[in-house]
Amino acid sequence: GAGVSQTPSNKVTEKGKYVELRCDPISGHTALYWYRQSLGQGPEFLIYFQGTGAADDSGLPNDRFFAVRPEGSVSTLKIQRTERGDSAVYLCASSTTNTGELFFGEGSRLTVL
Amino acid sequence: AQSVTQLGSHVSVSEGALVLLRCNYSSSVPPYLFWYVQYPNQGLQLLLKYTTGATLVKGINGFEAEFKKSETSFHLTKPSAHMSDAAEYFCAVTPGSLGGGGNKLTFGTGTQLKVEL
């Protein structure tokens, strides 16, 4: 389809393991965002890419979290040494404007046991 | 800095009744305001937005919201609820153009709307 695609849709892992979550934005969208939605909460900003570079990573909770977008299209969110508190739905969005209109994927639900 | 408060995590209305979902915001600069909707098993999608100009904004599916600066509110309404409106609704804010604009949205905690026959 033409929307934002996220894989996997569900990921169950054990505490301490490494996880990668992938986002494929809408073709032509240069801006890409990662948000995290914990149970009962609204989405919280993690990181924003404009092209290949991270323009704002102020929302990453700590240095276990890292994201890349090497060719300016697909992005991967990487979480090292996962903790139970990392369990959440990780949302990716892309955009062509700077006025708040984001196109979201369906999210990747991460469960850390 | 911005923040959003959504009063009522769950709202239930009868089909055909008025829908009113409340949102109050705090912003150090004139804000841009948004309502996003999340239908079951779907991604968030933009319902409507206020940036500048007319304070009453209309969105998809008959929803509208009014920006009231004096009340720091951006409540969402729909005159007549339909079963298909059942979803979770999120209010969000970002700095307006005077604050640099941008898509770094601050979301509220969401309101789950239930529509009953």
Lowest-pLDDT range of A80-94, B35-49, B93-107:
B93-107
- Which residues of chain A are at the B interface, by a Cβ-Cβ cutoff of 8 Å? 3-4, 31, 33, 40-45, 48, 56, 59, 91, 93, 95, 97-107
C-beta separation of A97 from B97 below 8 A: no
- Rounded to a whole number, what is the distance in Å from the CA of B46 to chain A's nearest CA? 7
Q: For residue B57, which of A103, A70, A100 has the smallest C-alpha distance?
A: A100
C-beta separation of B107 from A43 below 8 A: yes
- Considering only residues 52 to 111 of chain B, which have any Cβ-Cβ distance to chain A shorter than 8 Å? 90, 92, 94, 101-110
Q: Taking the CA atoms of A79, A85, A91 and A95 in sequence, report the sign of the dihedral they define.
A: negative
Rounded Cα–Cα distance for residues B30 and B27 (Å): 7
Mean pLDDT for chain A?
94
Residue reference for tokens 């965002």: A33
pLDDT in tens, A11-59: 999 999 999 999 999 999 989 999 999 998 999 999 999 989 998 999 9
Rounded Cα–Cα distance for residues A79 and A85 (Å): 12
Q: How confident is the model at residue B17 (pLDDT cuts 50, 70, 90)?
A: very high
Above pLDDT 90, what percent of chain B?
79
Chain B residues within an 8 Å CB radius of A99 = 32, 49, 51, 101, 103
Question: Do B107 and A42 lie within an 8 Å CB cutoff?
Answer: yes
- Rounded to a whole number, what is the distance in Å from the CA of B14 to chain A's nearest CA? 24
